[in-house]
A and B are shown apart, each in its own frame.
Chain A
Amino acid sequence: MIRWKFFLSVLVLLAVIAWILTFRLDSWVKNALESGISAVTGTKTDISGLEISLRNSSLQIGRLEIASKKEPMENVIELSQIIVDFQTLPLLEKRFIVDDFSVKGIQWGTKRRASGVLPPKPMQEDSWFGGISDKAFDKLQAEYNELPVSQLTSFAIPDNLDEVLKRLEFPAIESFKKIASDAQESKLAWAQRVKEVADLSDEKNLIQEARKLTKDLPQDPQEIAKRVQQIQSFIGQLDEQKSSYEKLIGKVREDYESAEKMYRSADSLVQQTYKQARSLMGVSALDTSFMLKVIFGSQWVQYAHETIRMQNELRRILSHLTQGSDEGVQIYPRSKGRDIIFVTPRKRPAFVLAKSDFSVNVLEKGERTEINQKYSLSLKHINSAPSLYGKPMEAKVNAMFKEMMVSELDALARWDYTKAEPRDFYQGEIKRIRASSWPVGIPKLFPLEISSGTADAKINFDFQGSNLSWRNVVQFRDVKWNFSDVPKAGVLVPILEKVFSDLKDFSVEFTLTSRNQALDFDVQSDVGELIQSGVKKYLEQKVSDLDRRVRGAIDRRIESSKMAAAQELESFRSEMMNSLNSKIAVVDQSKLQLKGLSSEITQKARGAAEEKVKSRLREELKKNAPSLPKLKF
């Protein structure tokens, strides 16, 4: 039933195969490391040699080269040697616990023998760390493309007065002409109307009539009284005449006021022409509010895009460590099936680097005694299953550089993947950055550069879930600007050159925040206002003389029609008013005359009436005297 001989021979054969395979272990780990690092960096990674010693519990990596993304024939970093001391017993539990970690010989930008480009990866599905951030950046870039950057170089002020005048419209001239002709027409129409309302001969006729009534007066007082009443009625007619004149005066005044209003609106059209002339000079059309974004933001956005892309790649990898449900299990998809990790107090991450502090000194290439770079790195809680480990991973870097782009770097990175919502936090300070290396302007369009000076930058990057808050404050000192490559077309560039020559010490703040899968980018600076007002001031100086001349020319062109309109208006007002007022005066005079005549014949009527009463009394006395009783005195 049991074939021992065959079984034992197979067992021996398997043991021999296993022994031979241990020699391949180094090569397998090397390949796994190379492909793992390449997955993170997106470029080729080469390890020249790797040696695992289970007896000494150590792993030695010789010359690790990570290719640059931009330069295929260059390494972004080259490490001469990495030594990892690990614990052997946890390997039986498929756990890799690192006790110590050291790196020797760091070099930047070394040459490669073969290209470091990897074949393109298949497109990721849309997620914050997939396409969404790219789309958000594309949108941001599109907003940038809409900024009127070309204005910076194409903006020009015309210097030929006639050219400006040719392009101007003069609606005020037409308006003034119309006002003048309207005033003339109104004057004629009103003259006719006044004439129609009454003729001065009417008053004369009435006076003549009244005079006639005062002549050949009858003796009968009643008859005289009738004549008085007739004269009174003439006076009434004159009163009516006067009130109709007064009404006409009111209407003339109304007409004059509306014409005056039109005159004022025509006058405001002159202001419009001034504005048009101003806009032709281009000053009001010049928007300088976007300048900060153009000068400091354009290239920073591209840099931010690259940074976010790298951060997203890191998050994609780290998030892979924390996938799971809330049922006490973590689920990791594999090429075949899924690995289920049971989260228990006993369960520990497969890889842990609890704490490691090390420093590296980089020597000058030629001088082997001179240190030109100094790094100190402190790693804490680096592990393969953050939710099992329960503490965020942390890395602190302090680097000093001699005669390099940056003098000092102090940074803290914390990756908290212990909870369902991951959080990446970076805080750092970079001191004495060569300001000339700080990207400003827009290449090709507005290739502005900083030629000298220094800058200190403070970075605060907090990316929790899908909420990003990134704030960079850069303090520039002793900055000198270089406009040599900026096209000198237009007037704005020389003005900017003058304005920027005064900008030496200033700070710029960049903020990038995410909101509803969109990005909000802002650039603020204490020199923002200064740039805008400086540009405006210099421009105002440039255009003020031309503006004065153009205004004078506009005034001259409009003057004749304006004067004509004013004269016509004044003549309309004065002529109509004078005419009507003189008529009123005639009416008043006629009234006075009629009143005199009236009072004259009233006196006569009163005399005649007295006479009549007296004669009647006499008659009555004579007739009734005999019948009257005799009185004794």
Chain B
Amino acid sequence: MSLFLLKTLYGLLKILNSEKSPSQLSAAVAFGMLMGLAPLSSLHNLFVFLLVCLFRVNLTMFFLSWGVFKILAFALDPLFDWLGYILLVDFKALRPLWIEVTSGPIWPYFRFNNTIVLGSLVFGLIAWVPLFWGAQSAVHAYRARWRESLKNSKLLATLKATPFYGWYEKYQSFMERMSVLS
């Protein structure tokens, strides 16, 4: 578990230290959040993933963000359930919309009538823009203030000395080749 965390941390630092566009990284964080918060079986996740594939979104950061927000989602499920219930049941003005998106062909498979699916989607959509801007500002700030000092730090040197670094390098080069395809 600690090795995994070590690897994740190293990957994160590697991406942050690279010359990737901050908007690509922040979009990956935001899309990862949108997909991570929703239940895995939600059909709209497929469309989110296709969007990620379609736009130049950093895949490493996307999967990293997805994993982090997936863990967070377990704790946030009661909040999504509450939000979804308010939107579906208590907020009667929206009811015609929900009736529309839960009936008719194909729509029922999206399960927007489920409190957690809808609650997490709405929460994710609302949080998408602030998170995108927040992540972008954070990447900018990191690169301006801490990148150089961290590059020369003992922590990074120790991380590079581990055998996992070699494996990670291979994985990273594979992901880079994948991005070349695009």
Partner of A341, one of B39, B50, B113: B113
Shortest A327–chain B CB gap in Å is 7
Contact B50 A347, beta carbon cutoff 8 Å: no
- B77: chain A residues within 8 A (beta carbon): 336-337
The reply to whether B116 and A93 form a contact with Cβ atoms under 8 Å apart is: no
Which of B49, B116, B181 is in CB contact (< 8 Å) with A337? B116
Q: Output the least CB separation between B141 and chain A (Å).
A: 25
Beyond A9-B181, A94-B109, A336-B116, is A342–B54 a contact (Cβ under 8 Å)? no
Q: Does B114 belong to the interface (CB within 8 Å)?
A: yes
Closest CB of chain B to A321's CB: distance in Å? 16
In Å, the complex CA distance between A1 and B21 comes to 11
Chain A: CB-nearest residue to B111: A339
Which A residues touch B95, using CB under 8 A?
342
Determine if A5 and B181 form an interchain contact, defined as CB atoms under 8 angstroms apart: yes
**Pick from B53, B88, B99, B105: contact of A93, CB under 8 Å:** B105
B89 touches A339 (CB 8 A): no
B42: min CB distance to chain A, Å: 10
Q: Is A344 an interface residue (CB 8 A)?
A: yes
Segment 7-60 of B: residues with Cβ below 8 Å from A: 39, 46, 49-50, 53-56
Residue-wise, chain B 64-90 has the 8 Å CB interface mask toward A (1 for contact) of: 000000000000010011001100110
Residues on the B chain within 8 Å of A341, using CB:
113
Q: B98 contacts A342, CB within 8 Å?
A: yes
Q: Mark B124-152, 1 if CB is under 8 A from A, else 0.
A: 00000000000000000000000000000
Q: How many residues of A contact B (CB 8 A)?
A: 29
Decide yes or no whether B3 CB sits under 8 A from chain A: no
Evaluate contact between B50 and A7: CB separation under 8 angstroms.
Answer: yes
* A interface, over-half SS: mixed
Output the residue of A92, A94, A337, A341 with the most chain B CB within 10 A: A337
A94 to B111, CA, bound (A): 10
Residue pair B53, A7 in contact (C-beta under 8 Å): yes
**Closest residue to A1 on the B side, CB-wise?**
B56
The reply to whether A336 and B108 form a contact with Cβ atoms under 8 Å apart is no
Could you tell me if A337 and B105 are in contact, using CB atoms closer than 8 angstroms?
no
Q: Give chain A's interface residues, CB within 8 Å of chain B.
A: 1-7, 9-11, 14, 92-94, 325, 327, 329, 331, 334, 336-342, 344, 346-347
Nearest 8 CB-CB pairings of A with B:
A3-B182, A337-B116, A6-B182, A94-B108, A92-B105, A337-B115, A7-B54, A10-B53
Residues of chain B having any CB pair with chain A under 8 Å: 39, 46, 49-50, 53-56, 77, 80-81, 84-85, 88-89, 95, 98-99, 102-106, 108-109, 111, 113-117, 119, 178-179, 181-182
